[in-house]
Every structure is written in structure tokens, then in C-alpha cells.
Amino acid sequence: MDRLSALDASFLYGETPESPMHVAGLAIFGPAPADTDIFAMFRDHLKSRLHLVPFFERKLALAPIQLDHPVWVHDDNLDLDYHFRHTSLPKPGTQEQLETLVARLHMILLDRARPLWQYYVIEGLEAGGFAVYIKMHHAGIDGGAGMAALPIIFSPSPEPERAPLPSPPAKDSRAPEIFELISDSYAKFFNQQRAFYESWPDLAKAIAKVGQRATQDLANPPRMLPLAPKTLFNVSLSSQRSFGTCTLSLRDAKAVAKLTKSKINDVVMTISAGALRRYLELRKGLPDGPLIAAVPVSLRKAGNADMNNQVTAMLCNLATDIADPIRRLEAIVASSTDSKKRLEDIRDVIPADLTWLGAPIIITGMARLMGQAKLAEQLPAIVNVLISNVPGPKEPLYCAGARMLNYFPVSIPSNGSVLNITVQSYQDNLDFGLIACRAAVPDIEKLVEFLIDEFDRLRRAAGGPEQAKARKIEIREAKSA
């Protein structure tokens, strides 16, 4: 029985009409070969490969009276007309029109009675290319799993190879009955207690490390991670979204990281922090204290491509109270290094799963209360923004014979932290996708402009060679390779 883990299920429980919990990607392609039926070709291509990604052919079966986490069951009757959609931009088909369409599509909840994914082929782009908007529920997939699936969804060559035939279906693919679900829940609950006691040696080591670090903190109190200040990002979500994109040169970002003895992730956070600082100054809402970012950290072992979530998060001081980009970068490096060490102390004892009888009802109720009672305005802020950096394909991908030019991530804003900045690498691109509550951030294009400027400013401050400036992608400049 394939029951969702506690982490996977939490994305279901936290979902409300104002807070959909799907993640997405926006793939932009150059022009397809003449007379190509792009939608039909992509649909047929992916239809022949659905069996290669288990997530595509499974749906949820709820536990009786919401006693435990749901289970995945095979869907024998996929309605492909629901999962594959086709649309076109009105003329002239600009990037801004595309971003507006994606923001609207990202507001729509997925149907939980079906497998939790949809694809939109979007034609009518200004230079004759097209885009594919990929929506998948976070309960079934994280960034690492999504990247593993990308070469299956698209193709590493203009002429894709024939997909292997699916294996014969399992003898027992029926949905589990009520008593099976209840029995499995109780068995898992008691096995969890046994595993907890067996983990005491590792837990004791983690407690000792945490205690040692706490003693060091008492002697030298850390000043790198103060409480998060309240900002215009720390409000309740509306159902409306704003979405913006830009692309930086990965080669240039690596050069900056080398010159400053930092990492790509530090560079991403530094330019994001600079953009946030300028945006809050523009809105007359820059706090005296530095903003705090939640930064996802993968727990996947090398080569693991399981279709589930294996991720935790650390907190990082964004040093938005520092105007100089190099000094800000140094402060971010110090903070992220400290946070990584603290996470490493407990990494091995972070529970991969947790059965909590009644969790579906309790956590779902808490999520709804958070939004309906506007608690984000009343409670102190824990973080101000989520910033994520996902490594992506180094080789080109294709769809309907056209080469992928960009892959912009579209992630999840949340109650109390209504801006999400996610970065996806693709070949020599760092493709930024910014998604936010439109009521709080109606002018997300300003943040995009500031990101571009801050990267150029950091590059010049680091003493790097003059190279191509970061750019806002324009559809009319896109060319097929």
C-alpha cells in the first residue's frame, strides 16, 4: 500500500482556495518545424511515456473518516482531455501576456478526484515559438523529482526515441478497502513507535550536538539570525497571483561566486536580497532589521528520483540592512554557513515520515483558520520570503522538434509569506520565476527589474569582466537553435 508520507500529505492539508499547493514550470520553446501540430505531437509523445513517471497514473484514496494520510492508487481511466489543455495568446503574444496567463492558470486548484497534474500547450508567442505550462501537485513531487522527470516529459533530441512498452499491470491494482486502510494505519503507527525507540542512539548524538552548539551560543550569542521583521510580504493570501520572470547567465554567476569565494546559492540570495531591499524602499516599507529567508534543502541521496518530497528548510539572514552588495554577500555566506552546520547536527534524525492519527482533520482545520481569521497579520513573522535554487538540465531539451530556450519555475506563496523566488538552472541559464499574492505585490515586474540590476551591480563590485548584462526575456528575441 503506497501511503503518502507526512511531508507529502502536508501539502494536501495546507491547501485552501486561496492557497493552492501545486508547483509548476513554464517551458519556452523556439519555433517548431513547419506544419507541425504542436499540441497533438506533444500529447502523443507524453501519452506514450505516462507509465515511466508513476505520478502521472495515480490518484488519491482518502483514509476512512480522515484517520490517516491518504494512499496512492492506480487510475485506470485517465481523462486526457482534462490533463492536456491547449490555448493561444492573443496578438502580439508578448512575455507579459504569457506571464499574466500563467498567473491566472496557477490560481486554479487541481481536481483531487483525478491524478494531480495538468499540461497547457500555449501557442501564439511573438516570435512563432510556443510554451508549455506544467502543473503538478506538491503532494506527489518536489524539485528534485521534477527535474528527474523532465527528460521524460520532453526529449533530449529533436527526434525522440520510441518509449519502452509499459510493464503488465499488477495483479491487484484495486483501491484498498476500508478495513485494509484502517489496519495499515494502526500497523504503521505502532511500527513508528518501535522505530522511534530504535533511533535513540542517533537521537542522543543529535541532542548532544545541539546542546554543544547551544553552549557555544550562550558564550558567544549569534547575531546573524535575528527575528524576522514584519513586512508587506507577511500578510494573508488572496486568491490572485502575480508572476514575473528573468534570466541571468549561469556562467557569469559562477564567475562572481569564484571571485568572492562563495557559492551560486549565495549569489542568488544576495541579488534577491538587493532586489527586495530596493522594492521595499520603493514601497516605503524597508524595515531596520534584515529580512529572513526560508531556503529549501534537499535530503535526497545521490541518484534518488523517487516521486515524493525529500526536503527540509533552513533559515538565512538576507542582510537587507546592508546596502553594499559585497558586504551583503559576506553576511549571507556567514549566515548560510551557520544554518547549514545547525541543520547538519540534526539531519540524520529528521523523521522521513510520521503517522499522526487524525492529522488530516486537524491540520486542514488549522490551515483554513490561518487564512480565514487573517492570522498572518496578528502573529509574529518567522520568515519573510522563500528563496529556492533547483539544479536543472545541463543539456538541451526539445518538444515537437523545437528546442527549449528557458524553464521558469512557478512555485507556491503561502499565508504569512506571500512571495516566492525560485531559480532553475538550464544549460547556461539561471531562470528566475517570481510568484506572489497580487494584492500584496501587484507590481512584481519591479522586483524583476531590480533583480537584473542587482546582478549587474554585484558582478561589477566583485571585479568581474564586463560581460552580457542579465536580461528580461523577450519572446520576440527568442530563436530556435
Q: Give the closest residue to 397 by CA, choosing from 480, 478, 307.
A: 480
Q: Give the closest residue to 10 by CA, choosing from 316, 414, 395.
A: 414
Which phi and psi angles does 351 have, rounded to 5°? -65, 130
Amino acid identity for residue 251 in this structure: R
**Adjacent-strand bridge partners of 73:** 59
Per the annotation, the verdict on 138 as an active-site residue is: yes
Q: Give the closest residue to 134 by CA, choosing from 83, 58, 82.
A: 83
Which phi and psi angles does 442 have, rounded to 5°? -75, -20
The C-alpha cell at 388 is 529556492
The C-alpha cell at 77 is 481511466
Do the bridges between strand 84-88 and strand 117-123 make them parallel or antiparallel, or are there none, so unpaired? parallel
Which phi and psi angles does 58 have, rounded to 5°? -125, 150
What are the DSSP E strand ranges found in 398-447? 398-399, 402-410, 419-426, 429-437
The C-alpha cell at 263 is 557559492
419 CB burial (10 A radius; 0-12, 13-18, 19+)? buried
Do the bridges between strand 385-390 and strand 311-317 make them parallel or antiparallel, or are there none, so unpaired? unpaired
Asked if 18 and 148 touch (Cβ cutoff 8 Å), the reply is no
Coil, helix or strand at residue 341? helix
The answer to whether the peptide bond before residue 160 is cis (omega within 30 degrees of 0) is no
Asked if 122 and 88 touch (Cβ cutoff 8 Å), the reply is yes
Q: What is the rounded distance in angstroms from the CA atom of residue 31 to the CA atom of residue 138?
A: 31
174 CB burial (10 A radius; 0-12, 13-18, 19+)? exposed
Q: Give the residue numbers marked as catalytic.
A: 138
